[in-house]
Structure 1
Amino acid sequence: MVPSDRDRVLAEAGVSRETAAALDLYVAQLTRWQAIKNLVGPATLPDVWTRHIADSLQLLDAAPQARTWLDLGSGAGIPGLILAIAGVQNRPDLRVDLVESNARKGAFLQETTRLTGAPARIHVARIERVVADFRGVDVVCARALAPLPQLIAWTAPLLKSGTIGLFPKGREAQSELTAAREKWTFVADVIPSRTDSSAGIVRISSLSDPLP
């Protein structure tokens, strides 16, 4: 019998029954709210376990020592809420802050966080107004939010202070890195995506002041 996407993703992630149940609850919430608020691309919902769950979980291995995370433009909690749900299994002191400006998406995040018991805090606010308040977090991440130069501009106060940036990108990763290097000096690598051979995770480990 061929395992389902769900079973395969959970087996590869090595999650406990409790974590699996919480991720199931997240998927159920996402499916229910999708009918009310377009949280994710409708075409991706049937493949939620690979397109969203597995794609998010791989970020944990990109920063194995990280305990404090900041997810910008969280939307449906991808990747931030998924990371909070699953990451706490092996990192009991994990904490994830999620920033989302849309009030209805914020309501989804609040309710789903409450139901799953995830160690997440929701901030319904614009990124530029609050991002500097999170200096000292281990990782800042954002998925499908903005081109890399804009992400760096938003997160510069964090990246300059030692925070790692993890930004999943599609086939445009290298071109966005090239564009970002015209404005910023930074150290970065691209981690191949486990869920999409044409995609990668841009990991920024240090940032200097903008180029003149």
Structure 2
Amino acid sequence: MSGSRRPPSDPGQRSRGSGRSKPTAPATADRARALALTPVSRETLERLDRFVALLLTWQQITNLVAPSTVLHLWTRHIADSLQLLEFVPGAQIWVDLGTGGGFPGLAVACALAQKPGAHVHLIESNNKKAAFLREAQRVAAAPATVHATRIEEFVTSFEGRADVVTARAVAPLKSLLDQCFPLLGKSGAVGLFPKGRHAELELREARE
């Protein structure tokens, strides 16, 4: 993004002025609910706060998350992402396919920042979203690398190790498994692919 339409890099700066954005009461309550569901350290919370503030600034001109979920950003996106850590507590190297607005990959990276050797690869083909992810990674000081490329290209060219492969709202499970099978097969990584109301249907289709 370039010119006057580039969002301010200061995560607390409004696009129409230099004042600090104040969270609304519903947003504050949603944050509290999310932290009750997925408690984090003070350092992690500071990183997440910077990430979320920047996302809300960029969201004004770039569709990073569904507008209907903005007021529930912490429970719908942050907590939903952080819960994945419970399934693979010893994992260090994560690959997140189709990261979009930063979920789950960048949220996970914020939580892993104090873990030695931890790193998250964020794969996003949309250049605007990739630009946001780079700025968010910098602002949050998260251990992550943004790869502005298609999933298929990354999967076939990636030569590193991966402990976990994640993807959220990217593609139906059958298609997703076909896309990332080379990566799962090469590294023996665990695949974590959160699904919604159609999870059972997608599982049946993937088995066929």
TM-score with structure 2 setting the length: 0.82
| 1:113–1:120 contact (8 Å) kept in structure 2 | yes
Farther off after superposition, 46-55 or 150-159: 150-159
The equivalent residue for 1:13 is 38
Deviations 1:60-79 (A, max 9, x none): 11111111000001110100
| 2:112–2:143 contact (8 Å) kept in structure 1 | no
Structure 1 stretches of 4+ with a deviation exceeding 4 A read: none
Paired letter, 2:166: C
Paired letter, 2:60: A
Does residue 124 in structure 1 map to residue 148 in structure 2? Answer: yes
Q: Flag structure 2 segments of 5+ consecutive residues without an equivalent.
A: 1-27
Distance in 2 of aligned mates of 1:29 and 1:92: 26
The equivalent residue for 1:109 is 133
Farther off after superposition, 167-176 or 13-22: 13-22
Distance in 1 of aligned mates of 2:177 and 2:116: 29
| Larger helix percent | 2
| Larger strand percent | 1
CA 1:4–1:92 in structure 2 vs 1: closer, same or farther (change >3 Å)?
farther
Identity of aligned residues (%): 54
Paired letter, 2:132: F
Distance in 2 of aligned mates of 1:78 and 1:26: 11
Does residue 169 in structure 1 map to residue 185 in structure 2? Answer: no
Does residue 154 in structure 1 map to residue 179 in structure 2? Answer: yes
Distance in 2 of aligned mates of 1:9 and 1:106: 26
The equivalent residue for 2:75 is 50
Paired letter, 1:10: L
Paired letter, 1:56: S
Distance in 2 of aligned mates of 1:179 and 1:12: 31
CA 1:179–1:135 in structure 2 vs 1: closer, same or farther (change >3 Å)?
farther
Q: What aligned pairs does 1:1-212 form with structure 2 within 5 A after superposition?
A: 4-89=29-114, 91-132=115-156, 133-134=158-159, 136-161=161-186, 162-182=188-208
Deviations 1:143-169 (A, max 9, x none): 000000111011111222311100000
Deviations 1:33-87 (A, max 9, x none): 0011001100000000100000000001111111100000111010000000012
- For the aligned residues, what is the CA RMSD? 1.4
Farther off after superposition, 3-12 or 142-151: 3-12
